[in-house]
Amino acid sequence: MSAPRPSMVPTTPMAIAPPAASASSAARAVPEAVRDAVAAALAAAGTRVRRDEPLARHTSFRIGGPADLFVAAMSVPELQAVLRAAHAYGYPVFFLGGGTNLLVSDRGVRGLVVALAKPFDFVEWELGGDGGALRVGAAVPFKRLVSQTVAAGLAGLEFGEGIPGTIGGGLLMNAGAFGGEIGRVVTALEAVDEGGERVLLPRERLGFAYRRMALPTRAVITAVCLRLARGDAAVLAAAVADAKARRDRHQPKGHPNAGSIFKNPPGAFAGRLIEEAGLKGARLGEAMFSERHANFIVNLGRARAADVQGLIDLATRAVRRQRGIELEPEVRFVGEW
Ligand SMILES: Cc1cc2nc3c(=O)[nH]c(=O)nc-3n(C[C@H](O)[C@H](O)[C@H](O)COP(=O)(O)OP(=O)(O)OC[C@H]3O[C@@H](n4cnc5c(N)ncnc54)[C@H](O)[C@@H]3O)c2cc1C
């Protein structure tokens, strides 16, 4: 399958004015005109905008149709300007991290996909005898932060060995493993809300729960402040080695995937339920429930989002029928279905 080539938007002046009211219905009624206007406004402000960017390039599943518009913001002021422009037109925006927990539809995303570029990949350290206070950019890879903090003798993130994606996405998902989760070490978040305003959110305003966080307002996380305790280097190294060994033993390798497809229901394991339903190894098109761990769906090559969705539906119905348990997807559905 040859992916469409991304194109740059023309730097023509704004073709239509932002709608005064009912912005979202305007976006629905004239999507092409609104897209052109938003693209032109962004380009005129100096932002590099890509049209029809294939999202399969940005997801660990290697699946996903094009985003109408795509921007990788280089700074907080640029991010603010981008969000203000989209907001003025009522144009839908999706925030993309590392794309490791997403199932993007084959039709792609009608709207603007915003990612954070390299300047959001930074860590500021303040180390003391009893631990460290860190300010971490949202584009920092989770795995790298784990190895850096462990190397610095700081405890609290060692559970995250092997979790791909960015810190921003990890926060939104309250990523966790082996009894740990990132929410426990967060003291505050920096973000830009949909209207383009900067917000600082203390921990009390972040509703961390199992594999989710409830931001009080829709916003792009730009940085996070973490508090980590001083740890014993040997104990931390052993925890990381143990996490790595467990992943090596149980998780599929070699085929693109998005990690666990379903959340574990209370008191049960989604993988075991899928296996008991006889679906381990079940295949639809080029998507397959992994032979190694049934809660992973792997892309054998050219899987479509529709194939993955079909398997998700199949498992949901089978587990409901056989066990009366409602499986809830952990992976997030994105785009036009
Ligand atoms: C092999 C493999 C193993 C995995 N193992 C684990 C595991 O052990 N534990 C676990 O919890 N997860 C696991 N995952 C899932 C995934 O890696 C995590 O959920 C990860 O934290 C998602 O981060 P991301 O940057 O890829 O986010 P994305 O997938 O890009 O996005 C996830 C959500 O966060 C939002 N988002 C992303 N960035 C931002 C931002 N800056 N501001 C606001 N919203 C944002 C997106 O809109 C989306 O709703 C695994 C995935 C894979 C492929």
pLDDT digit string, tens, across residues 105-163: 999 999 999 999 999 999 999 999 899 999 999 999 999 999 999 999 999 999 999 99
Structure tokens at 153: 């003798």
From 144, 145, 172, the mutation candidate for ligand 1 (largest count of ligand atoms within 8 A of CB) is 172
The residue to which tokens 């679906």 are assigned: 279
Residue nearest to atom 35 of ligand 1 (CA): 169
Q: What does the alpha-carbon distance between residue 85 and residue 27 come to, in Å, rounded to a whole number?
A: 13
Mean pLDDT, residues 193-203: 96
CATH, domain range 7-119:
3.30.43.10
Structure tokens at 120: 């959001």
Total count of residues recorded for the chain:
337
CA distances from 318 to 96, 268, 279, 291, 325 (A): 32, 15, 9, 18, 9
28-37, 134-143, 222-231, 289-298: the lowest-pLDDT one: 28-37
- Place 16 in a pLDDT band, splitting at 50, 70 and 90: low
Boundaries of every domain in the chain: 7-119, 121-235, 252-334
- Place 216 in a pLDDT band, splitting at 50, 70 and 90: confident
For residue 175, which atom of ligand 1 is closest to its CA?
11
> What is the pTM assigned to this prediction?
0.91
6-20, 192-206, 237-251: the lowest-pLDDT one: 6-20
Q: Which CATH architecture has domain 252-334?
A: Alpha-Beta Complex (3.90)
Q: What is the CB-side half-sphere exposure of residue 311 using CA atoms within 13 A?
A: 30
| CB count in 10 Å sphere of residue 227 | 16
Class of domain 121-235: alpha beta
